[in-house]
Amino acid sequence: MTDHYAVIGNPVAHSLSPLVHTAFAQQTGQNISYIKLLSPLTDFAVTVRKFQTDGGCGVNVTVPFKEEAFRIADRHTERAMLAQAANTLVFTDTGILADNTDGAGLIIDLRQNLYFPLAHRRILLLGAGGAARGVMPSLLAELPSRLVIANRTRARAHTLQERFAIYGNVSACDYADLQNQQFDCVINATSTGLSGEYITLPDTLFAPGSLAYDMAYGKDPTPFLRFAQGHGAAQCADGLGMLVEQAAEAFHLWRKLRPQTQTVIDQLRSNSSNRA
Ligand code: ATR
């Protein structure tokens, strides 16, 4: 019996999730199929229900449906509750369970693949949209010395700051406020990694030994990573590792098995152009 899974998004053609999950399934001997499902923007819930009725076991959810995925679920993991967004749904006998594995994927990539633990470090998170919110709880759980959220629209950064202030030392600002500040880890969670736009950042942002991380991935470095390379970041990484690690977390939720990730990251390194 084949168990069926899908990634739902709009757009979704770019998604590498089918490649990742197929590689995990081969590696662990699991009999699953995994497809891309393009959902109409106004019909996400219908798309999920149909896939479930047709015998699906679960789905991954990508742009722009992560918040709606959270809302349509019957039960939520704690990390999905904190993010108020879901990237993984499990169809169970007692309804739909929503989880959010994005934050865990980012932290595992930073810690295990990039050897960059965040405890006691100064973190700058660029962006205050859904992608930023999804990883905030996991970043704060690592106990950084401070976490600054910088966003083009300052009010959105403040909203995030207010929401997560009880979990750590969080502050909010816009990009102009970053003058004369330095960080050990700068994470780009804006959509500029996809659109190719530049964010104007101070030249002196990167502390010695710092890591620049873009949650987007592609064949070429994003504008943010190009900026970081030229302005003192010691290490630069794109989001391919996060993509594979968040998928491994979802696979574990579905199949109760933990696949090896490094070989899959290496396999994908050659052909990618988007974000989880
Ligand atoms: P996502 O779910 O991918 O996070 P989103 O909620 O629309 O999508 O958020 C997009 C993020 O990218 C926001 O932080 C947005 O900044 P604003 O809140 O000011 O819109 C940021 N962003 C998009 N284009 C940008 C640009 N050209 N320069 C700087 N930030 C940009």
| Burial class (CB within 10 angstroms; exposed 0-12, middle 13-18, buried 19+) of 54 | exposed
| Residue 275 predicted with pLDDT over 60 | no
Q: Compute the distance from residue 195 Cα to the ligand 1 centre, in Å.
A: 10
Smallest CA separation from ligand 1 atom 18, residue: 153
* Atom 7 of ligand 1: nearest residue by CA position: 129
Question: Can you tell me whether residue 98 is helix, strand or coil?
Answer: strand
- Which residue puts its alpha carbon closest to atom 8 of ligand 1? 129
Q: Is 191 in the pocket of ligand 1 (CB under 6 A)?
A: yes
Beta strands at 206-214 and 235-237: parallel, antiparallel or unpaired: parallel
Cα–Cα distance, 102 to 80 (Å, whole number): 10
Residue 133 CA: nearest ligand 1 atom is 4
- Nearest atom within ligand 1 for CA of residue 66: 2
Alpha carbon of residue 61 to chain centroid: 11
Is the Cβ atom of 152 under 6 angstroms away from ligand 1?
A: yes
| Amino acid letter for position 62 | T
Distance between CA 106 and CA 154 in Å, rounded? 24
How remote is the CA of residue 174 from the centroid of ligand 1, in Å?
Answer: 12
Residue pLDDT, tens place only, 204-236: 999 999 999 999 988 889 999 999 999 999 999
Mean pLDDT for 174-201 is 94
Query: Looking at residue 273, what is its pLDDT?
Result: 46
Mean pLDDT of 38-46: 98
What is the model's pTM? Answer: 0.94
Ligand 1: atom nearest CA of 189 is 4
Residue 270 in this model has a pLDDT that exceeds 80: no
Both tokens of 178, joined, read 């970053």
**pLDDT on residue 223:** 96
Ligand 1 in contact with 201 (CB < 6 A)? no
Closest-CA residue, ligand 1 atom 12, reads 190
What are the φ/ψ torsions at residue 162 (nearest 5 degrees)? -60, -40
Q: Which two tokens stand for residue 185?
A: 């880890």
Q: Is 199 in the pocket of ligand 1 (CB under 6 A)?
A: yes
254 alpha carbon to ligand 1 midpoint, in Å?
Answer: 31
* Other Cβ atoms closer than 10 A to 96: 20
Map residue 3 onto helix, strand or coil.
Answer: strand
Two structure tokens written together for 260: 């090896």
pLDDT digits (tens, 9 = 90+) for 91-119: 999 999 999 999 999 999 999 999 999 99
Q: How far is CA 37 from the centre of its chain?
A: 19
C-alpha torsion angle, residues 8, 12, 18, 20 (rounded to 10): -110
Distance 62 CA to ligand 1 centre (A): 16
- For residue 103, give both structure tokens: 């934050």
For residue 167, pLDDT over 60 is answered with yes
CA of 156 to the centre of ligand 1 (A): 10
Torsion of CA 228, 230, 233, 234, to 10 degrees: 140
Predicted confidence (pLDDT) per residue in 47-91, tens digit:
999 999 999 999 999 989 999 999 999 999 999 999 999 999 999
Ligand 1 neighbour 153 (Cβ under 6 A): yes
> Residue 272: its pLDDT value, please?
52
Name, in order, each residue with C-beta under 8 angstroms of 259's C-beta and a sequence gap of 6 or more. Answer: 23, 24, 27, 28, 248, 251, 252
Q: Domains in the chain, start-ordered, CATH in brackets?
A: 3-100+241-274 (3.40.50.10860), 116-238 (3.40.50.720)
Q: Which of 184, 191, 198, 116 is nearest to 148 (CA)?
A: 184
Whether ligand 1 lies within 6 angstroms of the CB of 156 is answered as yes
